[in-house]
Amino acid sequence: MGAQQVADRFAELYGAAPEGVWAAPGRVNLIGEHTDYNDGFVMPFALPHQAVAAVSRRTDGVLRLHSDDIGGGVVQLGLADLAPGTDREWTAYPAGVVWALREAGHEITGADVHLSSTVPTGAGLSSSAALEVVIALALSDLYGLGLPRWKLARLCQRAENVYVGAPTGIMDQTASACCEQGHALFLDTRDLSQRQIPFDLAAEGLRLLVVDTQVKHAHSGGEYGKRRAGCEKGAALLGVDALRDIPYDGLDAALARLGDEEEVVRLVRHVVTEDQRVERTVALLHAGETRAIGPVLTEGHASLRDDFRISCPELDLVVDTALAHGALGARMTGGGFGGSAIVLAEATDVDTLTKAVQEAFAAAAFTAPRVFEAVPAAGARRLA
Ligand code: ADP
Ligand code: MG
């Protein structure tokens, strides 16, 4: 959706042109899954799919929200009434951002918002973070808050954790706020230090496919929370602040100390090996050995499937079929229980691979998947 279209629709809805138009992308996580709430490493990149919002300030303590992508008209909320846990609709995401900004002491006196997004929802591509970050950036700009990107991400995470009630880590919001075109973002979620890693697959004759299984995950559902609690239990049993503090070469000793806590053992093993996979991926990309990251991605999938246990038959089918048809690597991406998988492949294998996955889904009587190529795009920015 172009900036002009979104601005035009804003003017139709609210009777005047918006003060500005902003965009924030969805993301794909290349490697580093379920590490962000363990103070570990992640490596997302931004998608060309993005949320675009036209926004104007108000002075009367009113927030008006409209999404092109959701049925229903303009929703009007009073800023004084915003309170965590009171809204179960989509409006909780933008309202939560306004709440978090105000709670942090920023004087927001109201806003009119119209938005439209091309990020598929519930597909593991972070439509929620795109929505939060586009609102946060717009308000930071309009109200002259000058918030650095990492801080915007923190406020958005707070909105999602506290206001919406979804216990997500910091990756999605940071990816949407901080990614750069042509790069993956190597993020240390402990101190939010970041490195932009050049990630230009096309130049090497490679492609990264996203396969949206169309199986909708439910993020605030209990399974995510259970994994998170299990990781916290592991850290407590091992006497560390977070699983990040277990070094890879100390993993066996740590697992031995956990004894018969079988579930915690599996969770800890995933998180510690996954952090190491992120570091290996960064090292391989740095060395120009892009094809060699394929097996690392595939290992990550096995760990999520067998140890973390958050895959599903559709995701496994994508990975198995892709690998059987020449993919260099493949894995589920995002929170799990549905959503999307990524496939790293030679450009010349893409057509065969895509067809094979589609046929396998048809043979299994699964809903047809949506396949698209992911090229690292720009992070959040002002469009007009
Ligand atoms: P994901 O972030 O993986 O797409 P989530 O469950 O975290 O999935 O967030 C999806 C929710 O975000 C939707 O159910 C909806 O409430 C909200 N959302 C995302 N995009 C839009 C949009 N364009 N308009 C309105 N709400 C949206
Ligand atoms: Mg989300």
Distance 331 CA to ligand 2 centre (A): 19
Active-site pick, 172, 275, 307, 349: 172
CATH number at residue 100: 3.30.230.10
Residues 47 and 26 in one domain: yes
The pLDDT tens digits for 138-178 are: 999 999 999 999 999 999 999 999 999 988 899 999 999 99
Q: Give the per-residue pLDDT at 61.
A: 98
DSSP 322: H
The pLDDT tens digits for 347-377 are: 999 999 999 999 999 999 999 999 999 999 9
Which residue, of 140, 168, 196, is where some domain finishes? 196
CATH number at residue 321: 3.30.70.890
The pLDDT tens digits for 258-271 are: 999 999 999 999 99
Q: Give the per-residue pLDDT at 204.
A: 95
Residues 184 and 328 in one domain: no
The pLDDT tens digits for 168-227 are: 899 999 999 999 999 999 999 999 999 999 999 999 999 999 999 999 876 546 888 899
How many angstroms separate the first and last alpha carbons of the chain? 13
Into how many domains does the chain fold? 2
244 domain residue, yes or no = yes
Residues 189 and 204 in one domain: no
Q: Which two tokens stand for residue 101?
A: 């900004």
380 domain residue, yes or no = no
Ligand 1 atom closest to residue 120's alpha carbon, by position in its atom list: 4
Residues 130 and 86 in one domain: yes
Residues 177 and 305 in one domain: no
Return the exposure string of 342-372: e unless at least 16 CB atoms fall within 10 Å of the residue's CB, then b: bbbbbeebbeebbebbeebbeeeebeebebe
Residues 138 and 225 in one domain: no
Residues 45 and 187 in one domain: yes
Residues 162 and 27 in one domain: yes
Do residues 329 and 298 make contact, with C-beta atoms less than 8 angstroms apart? yes
Which residue, of 159, 176, 196, is where some domain finishes? 196
Residues 314 and 338 in one domain: yes
Mean pLDDT on 266-278: 98
Q: Give the per-residue pLDDT at 222.
A: 85
Q: Give the per-residue pLDDT at 221.
A: 64
Q: Give the per-residue pLDDT at 220.
A: 43
Return the residue matching tokens 């919406």: 164
Counting ligand 1 atoms within 8 A of each CB, the residue from 65, 66, 90 with the most, and so the one to mutate, is: 90
Confirm whether residue 124 is marked as ligand binding: yes
41 domain residue, yes or no = yes
> Which range marks the domain in which residue 311 is found?
200-373
Mean pLDDT on 28-56: 98
Q: Give the per-residue pLDDT at 218.
A: 65
Burial of 273 per CB tally in 10 Å (0-12, 13-18, 19+)? middle
Q: What whole-number distance in Å separates Cα of residue 61 and Cα of residue 321?
A: 54
In this structure, are strands 62-67 and 75-78 parallel, antiparallel, or unpaired?
antiparallel
Helix (H) or strand (E) run with residue 37 in it: none
Q: Give the per-residue pLDDT at 168.
A: 87
Helix (H) or strand (E) run with residue 338 in it: none
The pLDDT tens digits for 330-344 are: 999 998 999 999 999
Return the residue matching tokens 């927001």: 108
Mean pLDDT on 313-327: 98
62 domain residue, yes or no = yes
Residues 109 and 204 in one domain: no
378 domain residue, yes or no = no
127 domain residue, yes or no = yes
Assess whether 351 carries a catalytic annotation. no
324 domain residue, yes or no = yes
Residues 184 and 211 in one domain: no
Ligand 1 atom closest to residue 129's alpha carbon, by position in its atom list: 2
Q: Whose CA is nearest to atom 9 of ligand 1?
A: 128
Ligand 1 neighbours by CB, cut-off 6 Å = 67, 69-70, 90, 93, 117, 121-128, 131, 219
Single out the residue of 176, 207, 170 nearest to residue 192, CA to CA: 170
356 domain residue, yes or no = yes
The pLDDT tens digits for 81-99 are: 999 999 999 999 999 999 9
Which residue, of 196, 211, 226, is where some domain finishes? 196
Distance 128 CA to ligand 1 centre (A): 4
Single out the residue of 248, 217, 244 nearest to residue 231, CA to CA: 244
Residues 220 and 188 in one domain: no
Helix (H, G, I), strand (E, B) or coil at 178: helix
Helix (H, G, I), strand (E, B) or coil at 28: strand
